[in-house]
Amino acid sequence: MTPPPVYAPVPLKPRKLKLATVSLAGCFGCHMSFLDIDERLLTLLELVEFDRSPLTDIKTIGRCDIGLIEGGLCNAENVHVLREFRANCKTLIAIGACAINGGLPAQRNQRDVGQLLRDVYCAHTGTLAGSQVPNDPELPLPLNQVHPIHEVVHVDYFLPGCPPSADAIWSFLNDLLTGVTPQLGHKLMHYD
């Protein structure tokens, strides 16, 4: 009997984690603060691969490990995209004040949304006579009120700030990528 062949173990290269990001009713400021990690972005790119994001050209989200959501929910398309992210991301993170509690856009919750649209599109100084509120079905309808994302889907982590500092985002992602529960501490925790 010949002994079974012995195979040398193939060294496993760790799979890069997939990261998706999106801005809903956001200002892109959280994404800018993310880019403020500067050259550390190159280190990050050795560990993660971007899926759908404003920084890539990928139109629909695939299976991902981490989803970063900036902005609250102000219209129907925001809700649709948020649900897609939740369905595809193992870990979903609300980043910034808007995603966490609606943020400054939620100050519109003190007004009637129809009146706001009429004020801006019909009555505002500079609008032409006969101007109408846009009504093409291509456009997503605004919600009555702005909502934080955790009121629609389960959120795994909150990363506060308007925006969170680059150091806070870096520390948070490092903890997450090394399997540690993210803790910001006094220096990195702020809501403003």
Could you list the residues that contact other proteins (CB under 8 A)? 94, 97, 100-104, 106-107, 109-110, 145, 147-148, 150-151, 155, 157-160, 162, 183-184, 186, 189-192
Nearest residue to 21 (alpha-carbon basis) of 117, 85, 80, 116: 85
What is the smallest separation between the CB atom of 99 and other proteins, expressed in angstroms?
A: 9
Residue 93 bridge partners (DSSP): 68, 157
What is the smallest separation between the CB atom of 191 and other proteins, expressed in angstroms?
A: 4
Q: CA 154 from chain center: how many Å? A: 14
Give the Cα separation of 69 and 75 in Å (integer).
Answer: 15
Give the Cα separation of 148 and 183 in Å (integer).
Answer: 22
- Among residues 50 and 150, whose Cβ is nearest to other proteins? 150
* Three-state DSSP state, 68: strand
- Among residues 67 and 102, whose Cβ is nearest to other proteins? 102
- Among residues 61 and 97, whose Cβ is nearest to other proteins? 97
What is the smallest separation between the CB atom of 159 and other proteins, expressed in angstroms?
A: 7
In the chain, the largest separation of any two C-alpha atoms, in whole Å, equals 95
What is the smallest separation between the CB atom of 102 and other proteins, expressed in angstroms?
A: 6
- Among residues 83 and 187, whose Cβ is nearest to other proteins? 187
CA angle, residues 83, 89, 92, in degrees to nearest 5: 80
89 with 20: CB under 8 angstroms?
yes
* Three-state DSSP state, 114: helix
What is the smallest separation between the CB atom of 80 and other proteins, expressed in angstroms?
A: 21
- Among residues 18 and 74, whose Cβ is nearest to other proteins? 74
